[in-house]
Structure 1
Amino acid sequence: MKGEVAIVGAGLTGCLLACFLARRGHQVTLYERRDDPRGRTPERGRSINLALSERGLDALRRIGLDGVVLAGALPMRGRMVHPVHGTPDFQPYSVRGDRAINSIGRGALNDALLEAATAQPGVRAVFGHRLTGLDPETGEMVFQTGDGEVKASAPVVLGADGAGSAVRAELKRYGTLTEDVDFLEHGYKELTVPPRDGDFALDPGALHIWPRGTSMVIALPNPDRSFTCTLFWPGEGPGGFASLDDPGAVERHFRAEYPDLVPLVPDLAADYLRNPVGVLGTVRCASWHAAGRVGLVGDAAHAIVPFYGQGANCAFEDVVVLDRCLDDTGGDWSAALPLFEARRREDTEAIAQMALANFIEMRDKVASPLFLLGRRAEHALERALPGRYVSRYELVSFSTVPYARVRRRVRRQHQAVAALAAAATLALGALAVRAASPGKRARSGRSA
């Protein structure tokens, strides 16, 4: 057996990472602050369904879990955009309409990955352990449990404990890390659209979106024929969470802004007032590693807002990249951890920026006739230039092209299209001048 690795966080990233490290022959201990989540009802109003796409599936495929996960997922081939009044409009994600992102509950995916991880030889999971201390020089850890303080140590400690990472906090306390957390003015709250007469109340083949300028609502389907409905609203101001604090205000706001949702959510006001408001933000820090033995992975290193559906996909891709770094360094963690950060930082910054930009697109632009015209033009280019012109969405969601390379490629494509448009305009102008010239010469001859 290779050396022991401690992974703090038995969420999605930690469990997947445990599977990859077990395959390499490591002994792995997963430390999780929560109780064992398997078989438990997810925390009310905190699930945020995931949109699993190619980057996440690629990571799962490498350890043979893609089929297991997709068995509990629902494919969504496009957005269904709901106006305040009128008929919803379906916008396919891919040019041929055949590619899909996959809706899956975070809890269901976590359970599947935790089962897979603990089934591996040499992997154990310890629950109810909240990290309260870490010495990066020695790998000594302190946990608070229901029975008091517990100490442990490991040659390698990896923080996969999410945006509020305790490992990151310990590295910051030791002075080996600086961080910047940029919170949005928007938060999120969840509601449930239950089945209607035993069937889906909305089309299950789409991600439903109600764009309203400065805010939006989305809904993703679940295998039990319900939808998880997430409100992304400002915290303050008219239409913000703080201003809608009584049943009457809630009902009036939904009837004015989301009239087709009202009949789909029984006890709308009660559920709204009962469920908590979550925060959204982007985490940036440097560096992601310390003392050659401690490292951060996934949201612990670079949390992003969820508006490109890439949070889990990006974190899963982290695991693949870290695994390659271990290959390239002969399993030397002191070399692999800085190499991982060097290879991954530009890509994680690129998707962080694209996710923020996509929030504006989703809430402001998807219902715009100009936006729809642009999408049709982009799909026409993809059909005319297969493989040469590919949209940003397809490159992000349906490929494993590095995020930073996606951004550069899309920029070049847009520049090329703009140059062609300018050249075409000049050519048409020249043709118009040429067409007008013989008439001018004829008139000049007659007047002479």
Structure 2
Amino acid sequence: MQTPQKIAVVGSGLVGTLLAIYLKKKGHTVHVFDRSPDIRTVEFSGRSINLVMSNRGWKTLRDIGLEDEIKKIGIPVDKRGIHLQDGTYTTQHYGKEGEAIYSLSRGILNRRMIDLAEEAGVEFFFNHKIWDVTLSTATLHIGESERGEWTDLQYDKVFGADGAFSRIRHRMQRQSMFDYSQEFMKIGYKELHIPANPDGTHKIDKNSLHIWPRGNFMLMALSNLDGSFTCTLFMPFEGENSFEQLKDEKALVEFFANYFPDTKEVIPDLVEDFFKNPKSYLVMMKCFPWTHNDKVALIGDSAHAIVPFYGHGMNAGFEDITILNEMIEKFGDDWEKIFREYEISRKPNADAIAELSFRNFMEMSSRTADQKFLLQKKIEKWFSDKHPGKWKPLYSRVTFSNQPYSEALAIGEFQNNIMEKVMQMPNIEEKWNSQEVEQKIIDLLKK
């Protein structure tokens, strides 16, 4: 057990709340501050992308004894359900039999996590606006407005878990030798929904992540416990097939009738949802260092905001906690060493999942509709089932293992180079599961 300290966590999102539980169970006094109201008292805003929990997130929850509790509010999803424009529907399993990600409502999960944190003894301070931090002394500065009177709150440690536009990181950015980059995608998103059937059942398969891939835009849907689906329309802000073109009801209805004809019966509130819910932006942010001496550390999106196309924003943030916890177990009260080893370990892996997430938009929006791509995935699964020690598909490395993201990315690129050569074999469509193809992959792996 560490020497008890007084620790502040800024941000009551999923990563900040779970971190607070970890720190409290280690004997520390933990206060969580958030400028927003208590999420348990407000209606969610209509700008959510449902979360998917995979192995990395479950490990962090399991280590603290919360895995079973959170699984109660999730739905297992073991495949993609791909809706083509001509009405064809196909499925593509994510991994081996029994492997699944879990669909979770962000709002429901966040509310439950705060309940669990309070049960553990964490104190929450909502509607408390942190404007700045003195890094050298871990002093928070709080007040009603940025230019008004502030109150100083002294802590032993401060963790910035306040997201992509973190106030804690904003102060760190003003230090020398702090690297920072931010990039907005030209693609945004808007939330829609598929309501439940009158009897509370789901209108489409609840155990699939549904994708309507259309090139530079796509629709996706993930199931909720109440029988509904949270849908997300991703598309460019400007240009052909963009948000700027969907200005009125007529344009919207015609667009969906053309590109998503099979949604007419399942999204009855399309027009209302579309014009009520805001357009939201997707931002990627990288920085380094993530810590300041033994006083302040960034975690989750505050350190590495990524786009959602691999479903790993939450999982990567939870894995930050796993690694931080390992360093605490290893180095005890040496917080400067804990922080240093934590950021050195996590930075290359955060960069890797950022790259993987960015690339996966093209896979989801375009390649899932490409027969050649689907055949490649089929060959990979077939070979992996025959030779599990020689081949694990990239998605499985990222989602169904705890292999470092950076290793998964490097091996995934190596394997993709092999598959490019395999896909060029004559008549690959007819002989995809032949001994010739099997031997070709084995030979290429040896090289």
The answer, yes or no, to whether TM exceeds 0.5 is: yes
Q: In the alignment, is the contact (CA less than 8 A) between 1:95 and 1:382 conserved in 2? A: no
Q: 1:230-259: per-residue Cα shift (whole Å, max 9, x none)? A: 011101012211221111111111111111
Match of 1:368 in 2: 370
TM-superposed deviation, 1:406: 1.1
Secondary structure, in 3 states, of the residue corresponding to 1:263?
Answer: coil
Give the Cα–Cα distance (whole angstroms) in 2 for the partners of residues 382 and 291 of structure 1: 45
Say whether residues 1:115 and 2:92 are aligned partners. Answer: no
TM-superposed deviation, 1:87: 2.5
Say whether residues 1:125 and 2:124 are aligned partners. Answer: yes
Match of 1:161 in 2: 162
Give the Cα–Cα distance (whole angstroms) in 2 for the partners of residues 401 and 139 of structure 1: 34
% same residue: 35
Q: Map 1:163-202 onto structure 2 (within 5 A).
A: 163-175=164-176, 177-198=178-199, 199-202=201-204
Q: In the alignment, is the contact (CA less than 8 A) between 1:378 and 1:391 conserved in 2? A: yes
Counterpart among 192, 201, 210 of residue 212 in structure 2: 210
TM-superposed deviation, 1:120: 1.6
TM-superposed deviation, 1:368: 0.5
In the alignment, structure 1 segments of 5+ residues that lack a partner are 429-448
**Most deviating of 225-234 and 198-207:** 198-207
Give the Cα–Cα distance (whole angstroms) in 1 for the partners of residues 30 and 303 of structure 2: 20
Q: In the alignment, is the contact (CA less than 8 A) between 2:5 and 2:156 conserved in 1? A: yes
Give the Cα–Cα distance (whole angstroms) in 1 for the partners of residues 33 and 352 of structure 2: 30
Give the Cα–Cα distance (whole angstroms) in 1 for the partners of residues 47 and 195 of structure 2: 17
What amino acid maps onto 2:160 in structure 1?
G
Q: Map 1:19-418 onto structure 2 (within 5 A).
A: 19-43=21-45, 45-96=46-97, 98-121=98-121, 123-145=122-144, 149-175=150-176, 177-198=178-199, 199-414=201-416
Q: 1:352-398: per-residue Cα shift (whole Å, max 9, x none)? A: 10111111100010011101110110011111102321000111111
Number of residue pairs the alignment of both structures matches = 424
Give the Cα–Cα distance (whole angstroms) in 1 for the partners of residues 333 and 59 of structure 2: 22
TM-superposed deviation, 1:62: 0.7
Give the Cα–Cα distance (whole angstroms) in 1 for the partners of residues 334 and 415 of structure 2: 40
Q: In the alignment, is the contact (CA less than 8 A) between 2:182 and 2:284 conserved in 1? A: yes
Q: 1:400-423: per-residue Cα shift (whole Å, max 9, x none)? A: 111111122333444566789999
Give the Cα–Cα distance (whole angstroms) in 2 for the partners of residues 218 and 331 of structure 1: 46
Higher-Rg structure is 1
What amino acid maps onto 2:153 in structure 1?
A
Q: In the alignment, is the contact (CA less than 8 A) between 1:177 and 1:286 conserved in 2? A: yes
**Most deviating of 331-340 and 305-314:** 331-340
Q: 1:62-96: per-residue Cα shift (whole Å, max 9, x none)? A: 11111111101111110000011222111111143
TM-superposed deviation, 1:171: 1.4
Match of 2:431 in 1: none
Q: 1:236-294: per-residue Cα shift (whole Å, max 9, x none)? A: 01221122111111111111111111222223112201110111021101111113211
TM-superposed deviation, 1:125: 0.8
C-alpha root-mean-square deviation of aligned residues, in Å?
2.2
Q: In the alignment, is the contact (CA less than 8 A) between 1:128 and 1:145 conserved in 2? A: no
**Most deviating of 190-199 and 54-63:** 190-199
What amino acid maps onto 2:119 in structure 1?
A
What amino acid maps onto 1:111 in structure 2?
R
Q: In the alignment, is the contact (CA less than 8 A) between 1:32 and 1:129 conserved in 2? A: yes
What amino acid maps onto 1:92 in structure 2?
H
Q: In the alignment, is the contact (CA less than 8 A) between 1:74 and 1:205 conserved in 2? A: yes
Give the Cα–Cα distance (whole angstroms) in 2 for the partners of residues 17 and 102 of structure 1: 21
Q: 1:76-118: per-residue Cα shift (whole Å, max 9, x none)? A: 110000011222111111143x311100011111112111111
Secondary structure, in 3 states, of the residue corresponding to 1:163?
Answer: coil
Give the Cα–Cα distance (whole angstroms) in 2 for the partners of residues 349 and 415 of structure 1: 21
Q: In the alignment, is the contact (CA less than 8 A) between 2:87 and 2:262 conserved in 1? A: no
Q: In the alignment, is the contact (CA less than 8 A) between 2:301 and 2:317 conserved in 1? A: yes
Secondary structure, in 3 states, of the residue corresponding to 1:21?
Answer: helix
In the alignment, structure 2 segments of 5+ residues that lack a partner are 428-435, 437-447
Secondary structure, in 3 states, of the residue corresponding to 1:142?
Answer: strand
Give the Cα–Cα distance (whole angstroms) in 1 for the partners of residues 354 and 240 of structure 2: 28
Q: 1:178-210: per-residue Cα shift (whole Å, max 9, x none)? A: 310111000010011101232211110100000
Give the Cα–Cα distance (whole angstroms) in 1 for the partners of residues 53 and 226 of structure 2: 18
Secondary structure, in 3 states, of the residue corresponding to 1:337?
Answer: helix
Q: In the alignment, is the contact (CA less than 8 A) between 2:376 and 2:423 conserved in 1? A: no
Tell me the TM-score normalized by structure 1.
0.90
TM-superposed deviation, 1:137: 1.1
Tell me the TM-score normalized by structure 2.
0.90
Give the Cα–Cα distance (whole angstroms) in 2 for the partners of residues 30 and 407 of structure 1: 35
Change beyond 3 A, Cα 1:214–1:417: closer
Give the Cα–Cα distance (whole angstroms) in 1 for the partners of residues 372 and 421 of structure 2: 20
Secondary structure, in 3 states, of the residue corresponding to 1:38?
Answer: helix
Give the Cα–Cα distance (whole angstroms) in 2 for the partners of residues 280 and 49 of structure 1: 15
**Most deviating of 216-225 and 400-409:** 400-409
Give the Cα–Cα distance (whole angstroms) in 1 for the partners of residues 316 and 163 of structure 2: 13
Give the Cα–Cα distance (whole angstroms) in 1 for the partners of residues 192 and 8 of structure 2: 36
Q: In the alignment, is the contact (CA less than 8 A) between 2:94 and 2:396 conserved in 1? A: yes
What amino acid maps onto 1:300 in structure 2?
S
Q: In the alignment, is the contact (CA less than 8 A) between 1:283 and 1:302 conserved in 2? A: yes
What amino acid maps onto 1:127 in structure 2?
F
Change beyond 3 A, Cα 1:185–1:329: same
